[in-house]
Amino acid sequence: MKIGALKESFEGEARVAVTPSSAAHLRKLGHEVYVEAGAGVRAGFSDTAYEAAGVTVEPNAAALIGDVDVVVKVRPPNEGELRQMRRGQVLISHFWPAQNPDLLELAREQGVTAIAMDMVPRISRAQKMDALSSMANIAGYRAVIEAANNFGRFFTGQVTAAGKVPPAKVLVVGAGVAGLAAIGAAVSLGAQVYAFDVRPEVAEQIESMGAEFVYLDFQDQVQDGAATGGYAAPSSPEFREKQLEKFRELAPEMDIVITTALIPGRDAPKLWTADMVEAMKTGSVIVDLAAERGGNCDLTVPDERIVTENGVVIIGYTDFPSRMGAQASELYGNNIRHMLSDLTPGKDGVIVQNMEDDVIRGSTVAFDGDVTWPPPPPRIA
């Protein structure tokens, strides 16, 4: 089959869905690979580098969509891109079907097979295709880098001839994929790191990384944080009160707060309130990775960096993976090629849309003129 990566049309997006190295893997599966001219430039991959990897460079989106069987991209398609696609053509990209019902309906109308990388089931076998995790890992790391860049002090403690410097205190709220990556990055920069999650089973993991788990004085912590499938459930009002009380106590001490708390299918819980921001020291930094879903901090403005009256920097960027375009494209390109590997079982360039396969079924949101989202729950863990 002919597989082609579009240049991302979303303003400022630096990622690309195929890299020269992932293209080489796709060719081994028997596919021919195409990219739109300039698609990889912002991620550091020139058209010449693609050509050297055996990729055909198409002059524009229309030519690429017209020539290929499978269109791959990072962000959901825009309406214009989707309208140019034809019946039976396959699209692999993020899709966010719950947030994009009109786009889903258009994919159905066009008869396009839409495979959503954000819908890959979180089962062991699918980890290599789990774009949400690969992007969350980058976001967590980059959150620490942005924090360090906005913090006027060292992260690590030092004893120098010119004076003693204490280590920065970093609090990470939410220890899922992004939070754990943030903990790892902050510990490696030498900060004193604290972390909290409603799922107490992550305490051991946090401690093994050299950070300190923040325990609440709440006897039902174990039950309260427990949820199905490793995800968090909304907290009870009593638990939430204890959590906020603890955060209020920590706020004046923390130099950096990185929030990543999310509950599937809901707006981000508000955990870092305006009075906590007010209690923080001048020069402290908050990075709110939940900004896109409304933010964990009351004062976060999505896509903005603001400075409060008391001198606290609050970063609400929603494009952390794109800020590391080369790395994000490499990992996303690998997620895409693993997806295509599962879709090409014979390694003969023939795509088989096996709707009996949990991973393919779970990710396919439109197929053969039907909306196929939401999928039935996966049968295997």
Query: 58 forms bridges with which residues in the sheet?
Result: 36
Nearer to ligand NAD, 156 or 318 (CB): 318
Binding mask 178-217 for ligand NAD (x = CB under 6 A): xx----------------xxxx------------------
Computed from CA positions of residues 81, 82, 88, 91, in that sequence, does the dihedral angle turn out positive or negative? positive
Query: Is 236 a binder of ligand NAD (CB under 6 A)?
Result: no
- Helix 20-28 and helix 325-343: axis angle, to 10°? 10
Query: Is 262 a binder of ligand NAD (CB under 6 A)?
Result: yes
Query: Cα(373)–Cα(338) distance, rounded to whole angstroms?
Result: 22
Read off the tokens for 62: 């229309």
Query: Is 24 a binder of ligand NAD (CB under 6 A)?
Result: no
Angle (CA) 373 130 194, round 5°: 120
Backbone angles phi, psi at 72, to 5 degrees: -120, 140
The identity of residue 310, as a single letter, is: N
Query: 172 forms bridges with which residues in the sheet?
Result: 195, 258
Nearer to ligand NAD, 75 or 242 (CB): 242
Q: Are residues 292 and 320 in contact, defined by beta-carbon separation less than 8 angstroms? A: no
Nearer to ligand NAD, 58 or 197 (CB): 197
Site for ligand NAD in 159-178 (CB under 6 A): 173-178
Query: Is 271 a binder of ligand NAD (CB under 6 A)?
Result: yes
Of 119-127, 276-284, 318-326, 340-348: span binding ligand NAD (CB under 6 A): 119-127
Preceding peptide of 252 cis, ω within 30°:
no
Nearer to ligand NAD, 93 or 134 (CB): 134
Query: Cα(33)–Cα(365) distance, rounded to whole angstroms?
Result: 24
Which of residues 43, 55, 254, 261 is near ligand NAD by CB under 6 A? 261
Residues with catalytic roles? 122, 127, 130, 133, 231
Query: Is 365 a binder of ligand NAD (CB under 6 A)?
Result: no
Query: Is 250 a binder of ligand NAD (CB under 6 A)?
Result: no
Site for ligand NAD in 57-116 (CB under 6 A): none
Query: Is 117 a binder of ligand NAD (CB under 6 A)?
Result: no
The identity of residue 112, as a single letter, is: V
Longest dimension (CA), the chain: 71
Minimum distance from residue 248 beta carbon to ligand NAD (Å): 14
Residues making contact with ligand NAD (CB under 6 A): 122, 124, 127, 130, 133, 136, 173-179, 196-199, 230-232, 235, 260-264, 269, 271
